[in-house]
Amino acid sequence: MKPEISKDTIRGHTTTIVLNILNQGDSYGYAIAKTIKQLSHAAYVINEATLYTVFRRLEKHGDISSYWGNETQGGRRKYYQITTQGRTTLRHNIDEWNFAKQVIDDLILGRLDDNVSKD
């Protein structure tokens, strides 16, 4: 049986995921959703409602800004771009993730040393 990643596991990291993608270049909703699917090797698909909630939250906090693209390739698209504050938030979130990942690895995979007293 192939392992699956639960939406609960991802939920606290969607802002960091979106910031990571926007840190690589401006983009719009559908393209970001497609990138998330690609980066996760199709193990995670973000739904549109969740994605636009993330956009609103990030824009409200000043981590991203938006602008309307031109209509040269069909309908007009709203593009998002990361701000300087967003880059700071991204670095902070990555630092927190790396720390949390280490603690969780220690808790889930760690073994008590024979020298440590068992309470």
The pLDDT of residue 119: 56
**Considering the domain boundaries, does residue 64 fall inside one?**
yes
Asked if 80 and 22 count as a contact pair (C-beta separation under 8 A), the reply is: yes
Is residue 78 very low, low, confident or very high in pLDDT (cuts 50, 70, 90)?
very high
Q: What is the mean pLDDT of the chain?
A: 91
Average pLDDT over residues 18-25: 98
> Looking at residue 59, which CATH number applies to its domain?
1.10.10.10
**Considering the domain boundaries, does residue 14 fall inside one?**
yes
The pLDDT of residue 49: 93
Examine the pLDDT at 115 and tell me if it is beyond 90.
no
The pLDDT of residue 116: 58
> How many domains in the chain?
1
**Considering the domain boundaries, does residue 118 fall inside one?**
no
**Considering the domain boundaries, does residue 97 fall inside one?**
yes
Average pLDDT over residues 79-102: 97
Q: SS3 sequence, the chain?
A: CCCCCCHHHHHCCHHHHHHHHHHCCCEEHHHHHHHHHHHCCCCCCCCHHHHHHHHHHHHHCCCEEEEECCCCCCCCCEEEEECHHHHHHHHHHHHHHHHHHHHHHHHHHCCCCCCCCCC
Contacting residues for 20 by C-beta, under 8 A, at least 6 apart: 90
Residue numbers of the domain that contains 71:
7-109
**Considering the domain boundaries, does residue 11 fall inside one?**
yes
> Mind listing the pLDDT tens digit for each residue in 60-73?
999 999 999 887 76
**Considering the domain boundaries, does residue 48 fall inside one?**
yes
**Considering the domain boundaries, does residue 78 fall inside one?**
yes
Angle (deg, nearest 10), helices 14-23 and 29-39? 100
**Considering the domain boundaries, does residue 116 fall inside one?**
no
Average pLDDT over residues 20-38: 97
